[in-house]
Amino acid sequence: MLTLENVSVNYGAIEALNGISLHIEQGEVVTLIGANGAGKTTTLRTITGLLEPKSGAVKFEGKLTNGIAAHKLVALGMAMSPEGRGVFANLSVRENLEMGAYLRNDKKGIADDMERGFAMFPRLKEREQQKAGTLSGGEQQMLAMVRALMSRPRLLLLDEPSLGLAPLVVHTIFEAIEEIRSNGTTILLVEQNANAALHHSDRAYVLETGRIVMEGNSKELAANPKVKEAYLGE
């Protein structure tokens, strides 16, 4: 579904990604783990078109997407819940979701998807008319995820969905990820919480200073002594 071939990205003179290659197949949950500054967010921003690669190829469903503007990629079928949630604090919860469905015109379908999102996170329903800026961090994360789903993406990219959230909320978020996956959406999950990420994914890539240093089945990686030492704190 998605492949990155030898992708390098620079921020000015600083090299953020140094020739990374990865692939995601239809229906998979793939996670990208690594320390702060390893290039996880840069990878997602490159996939969604917010950044342009210096070299290499990004292909979504066989189509080369390098240099295609971010807003056009949404129409191709990908959506992201960005780092720091990126909710529109000045818009109501409902309006945020309407923005998620910006490219759609099927009122009925939009309303149904909104109800589905509210069913996933009933707390959002309670806060439907509230400004998103008044929500708690966990609620904002829920909103960012449902908002991304509003475009009916085939590929959902999640950037640090558990960052800064209380353990109970983290649990809710990962349950939702399982639910989204069971509906057939492919997911690329970027996480610092390697434990949870490996537990809830099929395959994983480990990113270190802009390079992929390990990849494989999530269960196997979770059992790998190097991963355990560096990322699982064991």
Q: Which residues bind another protein (CB under 8 A)?
A: 48-50, 69-72, 74-75, 79-80, 82, 86-91, 95, 98-100, 102-103, 147-148, 151
CB of residue 72 vs another protein: minimum separation in angstroms? 8
CB of residue 144 vs another protein: minimum separation in angstroms? 9
**10 phi and psi angles, rounded to 5 deg:** -115, 145
Question: By C-beta, is 48 or 172 nearer to another protein?
Answer: 48
Question: By C-beta, is 40 or 203 nearer to another protein?
Answer: 40
CB of residue 159 vs another protein: minimum separation in angstroms? 10
Classify 192 as helix, strand or coil: coil
Question: By C-beta, is 103 or 111 nearer to another protein?
Answer: 103
CB of residue 206 vs another protein: minimum separation in angstroms? 26
Task: Return the biggest CA–CA distance within the chain.
Answer: 51
The Cα 170–Cα 23 span in angstroms is 26
Question: By C-beta, is 146 or 222 nearer to another protein?
Answer: 146
The Cα 5–Cα 113 span in angstroms is 34
CB of residue 44 vs another protein: minimum separation in angstroms? 10
The Cα 186–Cα 47 span in angstroms is 14
Closest by Cα among 40, 62, 85 to 204: 40
Question: By C-beta, is 74 or 177 nearer to another protein?
Answer: 74
Q: Are strands 2-11 and 14-24 parallel, antiparallel or unpaired?
A: antiparallel
